């Protein structure tokens, strides 16, 4: 209920375009820092920001590459989430390619066993499924996620939690599994309407309670996947995930309310900034959240070429945002600052 209350409040909260961009940048930075920190990255948050800006830290080249790769992967996931279509295995493999190598090239699943050991004792922590079972398990996971999003029987946060757990459990690669699992969570949540305008970081809450995060992932009577892990009760991880999500959403809601109270402009002010064509365009978005160039042209009585030029200018000015950049399916949505003008009150 806390998650839903915060989600609804954020939908209705008018946030200035420039302010929203700053909050998104801050969230991406936090997600990058904490997700890589969980895996042992030694860069501080300030150094992560510097590394993303091009700075170099002698002896920390691997850490630099990790944060740059993760940031690229996160941007990629956010772009994919904004486009219609199903989540695919190939898409997730490309996310892993970005995480590990900084290139959106589909990674091959591991071809051997990957034993996870305790770094201090050397004891086995987890023995994932054998390599020959990975493709089938991944195909089943992706199919289950899409079914969960297309025909929702479980709340989206629960789908995201189980997707995270199962990806980490399958452990399809030798390295990069945790980071990719967390990015998969981001993709599922954004696709299902829980993106919260891209201004929150679950990774920060995992990192601050790392012991509980790992404990929640470790379930079953044995460290061996085939000896109980696959059928184990995962309600503990779902509870941990949803609690972390509620905490993240509550923190972002409080921050956004403060920002809006300080910087918000009222609806009449937003309307005054619009020219006559933009005001007419608002009526189109009252009936639909996304519009193609052809639909905008027809609504305004313009040629498609003129409408395309106009839409590019409106994107630059912050009135519209791209929903789909592809040439054939190019479409636009209102920027968050103007969404409030077509959102029914109450």
Q: What is the DSSP letter of 344?
A: P
Cross-strand pairs, 321: 333
Q: Is the pLDDT of residue 258 over 60?
A: yes
Higher pLDDT, 229 or 28: 28
Q: What is the pLDDT of residue 345?
A: 45
* Topology of domain 267-339, CATH: Arc Repressor Mutant, subunit A (1.10.10)
Q: Is the pLDDT of residue 192 over 80?
A: yes
* SS3 of residue 328 by DSSP: coil
Q: Is the pLDDT of residue 248 over 80?
A: yes
Residue 146 pLDDT level (bands cut at 50, 70, 90):
very high
The helix (run of H) or strand (run of E) holding residue 125 is strand 124-126
Per-residue model confidence as pLDDT tens digits over 54-69: 999 999 999 999 999 9
Residue 47: other Cβ atoms inside 10 A: 18
CA 55 to chain centre: 26
Q: Is the pLDDT of residue 272 over 80?
A: no
Domain limits, the chain? 2-260, 267-339
- On whether the CB atoms of residues 248 and 200 are closer than 8 A, the answer is yes
Q: Say what percent of the chain tops pLDDT 90.
A: 62
Q: What are phi and psi of 343, to 5 degrees?
A: -90, 125
Listed range (79-88, 160-169, 225-234) with the worst mean pLDDT: 225-234
Q: What is the pLDDT of residue 179?
A: 96
Listed range (119-123, 181-185, 306-310, 323-327) with the worst mean pLDDT: 119-123
Q: Is the pLDDT of residue 18 over 70?
A: no
Listed range (252-261, 288-297, 305-314) with the worst mean pLDDT: 252-261
Listed range (117-121, 193-197, 309-313) with the worst mean pLDDT: 117-121
Higher pLDDT, 259 or 70: 70
Per-residue model confidence as pLDDT tens digits over 277-286: 998 898 898 8
Burial class (CB in 10 A: 0-12, 13-18, 19+), 144: middle
Instruction: Read off the pLDDT of each residue in 172-181 and give the average, rounded to a whole number.
Output: 96
Look over the chain and give the mean of its residue pLDDT values, rounded to a whole number. 89
The CATH superfamily holding the domain 2-260 is Fido-like domain (1.10.3290.10)
Residue 204: other Cβ atoms inside 10 A: 21
Instruction: Read off the pLDDT of each residue in 167-175 and give the average, rounded to a whole number.
Output: 96
Cross-strand pairs, 333: 321
Residue 147: other Cβ atoms inside 10 A: 13
CA dist 12 and 103 (Å) reads 37
Q: Which residue shows structure tokens 């699992």? A: 181
DSSP secondary structure of 72-123 = HHHHHHHHHHHS-S---HHHHHHHHHHHHHSS--PPPPPSS---EE-TTT--
Q: Is the pLDDT of residue 265 over 60?
A: no
Q: Is the pLDDT of residue 337 over 60?
A: yes
Written as six digits, the tokens of 249 are: 């959403």
Length of the chain (residues): 346
Instruction: Read off the pLDDT of each residue in 287-312 and give the average, rounded to a whole number.
Output: 92
Instruction: Read off the pLDDT of each residue in 275-297 and give the average, rounded to a whole number.
Output: 90
Per-residue model confidence as pLDDT tens digits over 208-223: 888 899 889 888 888 8
Q: What is the pLDDT of residue 268?
A: 58
Higher pLDDT, 261 or 206: 206
CA dist 216 and 211 (Å) reads 9
């Amino acid at each position: 209920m806390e998650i839903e209350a915060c989600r609804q409040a954020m939908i209705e909260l008018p946030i200035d375009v420039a302010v929203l961009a700053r909050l998104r940048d801050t969230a991406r930075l936090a997600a990058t820092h904490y997700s890589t920190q969980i895996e042992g990255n030694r860069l501080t948050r300030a150094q992560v920001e510097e590394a993303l800006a091009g700075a170099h830290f002698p002896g920390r080249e691997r850490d630099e590459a990790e944060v740059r790769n993760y940031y690229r992967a996160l941007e990629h996931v956010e772009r994919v989430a904004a486009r219609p279509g199903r989540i695919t295995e190939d898409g997730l493999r490309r996310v892993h390619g970005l995480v590990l190598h900084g290139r959106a090239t589909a990674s091959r699943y591991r071809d051997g066993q990957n034993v996870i050991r305790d770094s201090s004792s050397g004891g086995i922590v987890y023995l994932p499924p054998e390599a020959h079972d990975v493709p089938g398990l991944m195909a089943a996971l992706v199919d289950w996620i899409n079914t969960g999003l297309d025909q929702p029987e479980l709340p989206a946060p629960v789908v995201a939690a189980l997707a995270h757990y199962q990806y980490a459990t399958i452990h399809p690669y030798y390295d990069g599994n945790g980071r990719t699992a967390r990015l998969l969570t981001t993709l599922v949540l954004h696709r299902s309407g829980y993106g919260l305008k891209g201004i929150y970081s679950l990774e920060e809450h995992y990192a601050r309670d790392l012991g509980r995060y790992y404990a929640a992932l470790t379930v079953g009577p044995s460290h061996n996947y085939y000896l109980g892990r696959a059928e184990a009760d995962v309600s503990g991880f779902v509870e941990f995930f949803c609690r972390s999500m509620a905490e993240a959403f509550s923190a972002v809601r409080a921050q956004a309310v403060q920002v809006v109270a300080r910087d918000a402009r009222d609806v009449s002010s937003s309307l005054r900034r619009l020219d006559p064509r933009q005001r007419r365009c608002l009526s189109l978005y009252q009936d639909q959240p996304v519009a193609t160039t052809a639909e905008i042209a027809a609504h305004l009585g313009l040629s498609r070429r003129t409408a395309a030029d106009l839409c590019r200018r409106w994107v630059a000015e912050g009135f519209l945002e791209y929903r789909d950049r592809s040439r054939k399916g190019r479409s636009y949505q209102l920027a968050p600052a103007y969404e409030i003008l077509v959102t029914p009150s109450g």
